Amino acid sequence: MSIEASAVRLKPFDFDTNIAGVGENHPLYPLIETDGVVFPFTPTVVEQVQINYDKQEFTHSNEGYMTYNNTSNRQIAISNIVFPCDTEENGKYALAVIHFFRTYSFMDFGADSTGKPPSPMWFYGFGSMLYNKVPVLMAGTDFTLSDQEMDHMAITGIDGSTQWLPAKLSLGGITLTVQHTPSYWRGGDSNVSLEAYRNGSLITGGNR
C-alpha cells in the first residue's frame, strides 16, 4: 500500500518510538509500511471553526458592539471511511487500524508508566496547502463490524486464530481537535506569524 501525496493519514507523535521498530507478530506492524494509518479510499473531511465575540450592550442603542474574544480549536470530522478486507493483507491492515484506534484512546497505564495522555497525532490530507502535518488530538471514533448483507472474510490474527471481518470495514467517523502548542501562538518560532500563514509559507512548511 503506497502513500500518495494527497492521502489522508494519521501519524502519532510517538509512532517512531513505539511502533516503527516492532516485529511482524505485533498487531500494529502493518502500519509501519504506511508510516501511520492511511485511508485507502478518500474519506469525507469536514472542518469547523468558531470565532467567538462578546456582545457589549449600550443603553438606547439599536445595536450592541461585538468585541473579539477568541477563536476556538478547529474541529475535523472524518466520515465515509472504508477499509477493504478482501485479501489477507488488507484484512490484517484493517485489524491493525482497529487496534490502533483502541490503543490511542487510552492514557498510559500499568506498573511502569501511568497517567501520560494519549499521544497527539499529525494529520495529513489532500496536499500541502490543505492538511500538512497538522497537530491534532483524537476526540473519538466508531466502527461497525456487523453487516448481515455483506460477506465476511477469514483473516489470520497474530495468534494464528481466525478473525472474521466484513469485506468492507466501515468506520462511522473520527473526530479530531486541532491543538498547537502555546509557544506556537506566542511566536516562539520567529517564522510563525499571521503574515507567514497569510502568504502561505507557514502552511506549506507543515504544522498548519
Is 190 inside any structural domain? yes
pLDDT tens digits for 83-96?
A: 999 999 999 999 99
pLDDT at site 52: 96
User: Residue 186 has what pLDDT?
Assistant: 61
* Residue 205 in this model has a pLDDT that exceeds 70: no
Full-model pTM: 0.85
Query: Structural domain of residue 152, as residue ranges?
Result: 9-204
In a domain, 2, yes or no: no
Evaluate whether residue 155 is within a structural domain: yes
**β-bridge pairing 65-71 and 51-56:** antiparallel
Asked if residue 53 belongs to a domain, the reply is yes
Q: What is the DSSP track for the chain?
A: ----TT--EEEETTHHHHTTT--TTSTTGGGTTTTSEE-SS--EEEEE--EEEEEEP-TT-SS-EEEEEEEPPPEEEEESEEEE-SSHHHHHHHHHHHHHHHHTTS---SSS---PPPPPEEEEESSTTTEEEEEEEEEEEEEE---TTS-EEEEE-TTS-EEEEESEEEEEEEEEEE---HHHHHT-STT-SHHHHHTTHHHHTS--
**What rounded mean pLDDT belongs to the chain?**
86
Q: How many structural domains does the chain have? A: 1
Task: Identify the band that residue 180 occupies on the pLDDT scale cut at 50, 70 and 90.
Answer: confident
Instruction: Provide the pLDDT for residue 1.
Output: 47
Residue 3 in any domain: the answer is no
pLDDT at position 171 is 86
Closest CA to 81 of 15, 191, 176, 190: 176
Tens of pLDDT, residues 50-64: 999 999 998 988 888
Q: Rounded to whole angstroms, how far apart are CA atoms 203 and 132?
A: 7
Q: Is residue 188 part of a domain?
A: yes
Q: Is residue 4 part of a domain?
A: no
Q: Is residue 1 part of a domain?
A: no
Which pLDDT score is estimated for 50? 95
